[in-house]
């Protein structure tokens, strides 16, 4: 001890004086562990309470995409394109002119149809006038029949008188009161009266046949005309229908936008000959866009139509929140609609969690403020506890 430096002894003494007792350090450690355990317990309680109250209430997926009922614009009549007023990315309103076809052929068809209507009306009017003439002809044959009936009566009376004269002379010829010449004249007169009666009866039969023919023609003509006005005649109506078709084809040479939206996939050029039914372009109605959110089947236990949905887009980030509602569920999962269904030919089955598309309608006002495009990624969160 005597050999140690006094300065070192002094420092050792000060160090021993400043060191805390061993019992105080252990107490501090215990308090630290207690505080840490309390914090963990509190966090567990908070997390457990959240899971009980809200944990299953919200279901979220980032497997969601913007979709819309895309409207294909097709040519409803064939023709040559003379003007294309729409280009890709162009915003159009319903009724805006997109494409024009050469209307020359359609205009000629309209003129021909108009001439056919006029011709049909003239034919019907002619048929009406023919009916009037045939009715007059029937009346004329009636008068002719009456006249010939009278002639038959006269011929019958003449025959009866000639028969009586012949009978008298035949009775007197044996007594010599009548000469042979008179008897011969009476017989000739009787024969002539018979011939006249036969001719009169034949004329009467012919008149009756003529009347039957005239009446048949009149009835046939009346059947063509009917009780309708000329403008309502079936032939005229058919001609008018062809005219309407020609006018419709002419109107269809101007192709207009079926809905409000954005023009996409334009595949038509000026001078191109298009046939009826050819798809020329498509219009995407972004104002009516919706979201198809593909949720896992285990997430849909409490999801029902009408529940509110909050959505964010990768395009705008989390600063823009869209609000929508669940519209309904797809009739099948995405894998069931695949071109090549997931089938295991070996018989070994591995269960894969399926996703079912859920359709979410968006607020049109929010869409107008922050437009979306078909196919953009979205994150959708459904509040299953909301009424």
Domain 71-102+256-281 of CATH type 1.10.1470.10 = no
If one counts every other C-beta atom within 10 angstroms of the C-beta of residue 10, the result is: 10
Residue 135: its pLDDT value, please? 74
For CATH 2.40.50.100, the residue range(s) in the chain are: 71-102+256-281
Please report which residue ranges of 21-103 form alpha helices under DSSP H: 22-50
For CATH 1.10.287.620, the residue range(s) in the chain are: 106-247
CA 319/CA 315 separation, integer angstroms = 10
Residue 207: its pLDDT value, please? 79
CATH code linked to domain 106-247 = 1.10.287.620
R_g (Cα) of the chain, nearest Å:
54
For CATH 2.40.30.170, the residue range(s) in the chain are: 54-69+285-383
Q: What are the pLDDT digits (tens) for 12-58?
A: 555 544 545 556 777 777 777 778 877 888 777 766 665 555 556 89
> What string of DSSP letters covers 65-126?
EEE---EEEE-SS-EEEEEE---TT-EE-TT-EEEEE--HHHHHHHHHHHHHHHHHHHHHHH
Instruction: List phi, psi (to 5°) of 343.
Output: -125, 135
Please name the fold of domain 54-69+285-383.
Answer: Elongation Factor Tu (Ef-tu); domain 3 (2.40.30)
Residue 9: its pLDDT value, please? 46
Nearest CA-CA partner of 382 in 313, 286, 305: 305
Q: Which residues of the chain have pLDDT under 70?
A: 1-23, 46-56, 134, 173-178, 180, 183, 218, 221, 223-226, 337-350, 387
Written as six digits, the tokens of 27 are 């107490």
Residue 110 burial by Cβ neighbours in a 10 Å radius (0-12, 13-18, 19+): buried
């Amino acid at each position: 001890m005597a050999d140690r430096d006094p300065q070192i002894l002094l420092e050792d003494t000060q160090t021993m004086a400043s060191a805390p007792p061993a019992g105080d350090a252990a107490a501090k450690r215990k308090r630290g562990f207690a505080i840490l355990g309390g914090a963990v317990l509190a966090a567990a309680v908070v997390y457990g309470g959240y899971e009980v109250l809200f944990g299953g209430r919200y279901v979220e997926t980032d497997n969601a995409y913007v979709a819309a009922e895309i409207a294909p614009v097709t040519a409803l009549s064939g023709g040559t394109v003379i003007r294309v007023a729409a280009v890709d990315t162009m915003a159009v309103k319903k009724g805006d002119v997109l494409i024009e076809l050469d209307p020359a052929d359609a205009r000629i068809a309209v003129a021909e149809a108009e001439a056919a209507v006029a011709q049909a009306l003239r034919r019907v009017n002619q048929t009406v006038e023919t009916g009037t003439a045939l009715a007059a002809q029937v009346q004329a044959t009636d008068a002719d029949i009456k006249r010939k009936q009278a002639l038959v009566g006269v011929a019958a009376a003449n025959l009866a008188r000639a028969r009586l004269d012949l009978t008298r002379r035949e009775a007197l010829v044996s007594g010599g009161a009548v000469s042979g010449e008179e008897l011969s004249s009476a017989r000739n007169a009787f024969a002539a009266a018979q011939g006249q009666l036969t001719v009169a009866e034949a004329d009467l039969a012919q008149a009756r046949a003529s009347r039957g023919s005239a009446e048949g023609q009149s009835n046939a003509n009346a059947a063509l005309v009917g009780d309708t006005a000329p403008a309502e005649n079936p032939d005229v109506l058919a001609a008018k229908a062809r005219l309407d078709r020609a006018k419709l084809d002419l109107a269809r040479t101007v192709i207009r936008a079926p809905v409000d939206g954005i023009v996409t996939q334009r595949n038509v050029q000026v001078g191109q000959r298009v046939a009826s039914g050819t798809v020329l372009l498509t219009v995407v109605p972004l104002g009516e866009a919706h979201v198809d959110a593909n949720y896992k089947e285990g997430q849909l236990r409490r999801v029902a139509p009408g529940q509110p949905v909050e959505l964010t887009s990768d395009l705008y980030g989390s600063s823009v929140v869209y609000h929508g509602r669940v519209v309904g569920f797809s009739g099948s999962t995405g894998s069931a609609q695949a071109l090549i269904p997931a089938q295991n030919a070996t018989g070994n089955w591995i269960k894969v969690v399926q996703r079912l598309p859920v359709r979410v309608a968006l607020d049109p006002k929010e869409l107008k403020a922050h437009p979306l495009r078909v196919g953009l990624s979205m994150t959708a969160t459904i509040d299953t506890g909301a009424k």
